Homo-oligomer: A and B are copies of this chain.
Amino acid sequence: MAAVDLATHPGHLARRLQQAHYLLWNTMVSEEITSPQFAVLNTLVAEPGLDQRTVGERVGLDRSTIAEVISRLGRRGLLDKVRDPQDGRRFLLRLTDEGLRTHKKLTVRTARMNQVFLAPLSAEEQNLFFDLIRRVADAAEGLRNPAEPLVAQP
């Protein structure tokens, strides 16, 4: 008698959207490499030699998750981990040739998949879609990591 309509719950919609994407990714892009794995490869193409924590920050993965993702990519020979000689706490990450080739191949397929995924929306709507989602996600992240106050707090 007091049930709610889940279609008006952003969290439920977000989950469904991600599931839909997962499905399409699996059929149109790759069954081996997942979307978060591709995000890591992409980050290391842009900035080779990053350390693990920073990569996690770039793609939005927590320290434990990024460690697992990187370990999988390492096992598949797509990247190398080397201790930073300057700072023995971190590992520096770099794609192998195989990793570069994989990234290139998947970039093409991902572009095709994005077209199919967004096909129900007009070009304007697609921009709106990006904008609205980004604003909501950014704001919620902001609640987590409050911006630096202008004056330091004691």
A residues adjacent to B (C-beta < 8 A): 1-4, 6-25, 35-36, 39, 42-43, 45-46, 59-60, 103-104, 107, 110, 114, 116-121, 125, 128-130, 132-141, 143-144
Contacts of A46 in B (CB 8 A): 3
Contacts of A120 in B (CB 8 A): 135-136, 138-139
Q: How far is the CA of A2 from the CA of B102 in the complex (A)?
A: 12
Given contacts A17-B14, A121-B132, contact A104 B2 (CB under 8 A): yes
Q: How far is the CA of A132 from the CA of B123 in the complex (A)?
A: 12
Contacts of A136 in B (CB 8 A): 17, 20, 117-118, 120-121, 129
Contacts of A20 in B (CB 8 A): 136-137, 139-141
Q: Which residue of B lies closest to A136 (CB)?
A: B120
Q: How far is the CA of A110 from the CA of B5 in the complex (A)?
A: 12
Given contacts A2-B104, A59-B6, contact A140 B128 (CB under 8 A): no
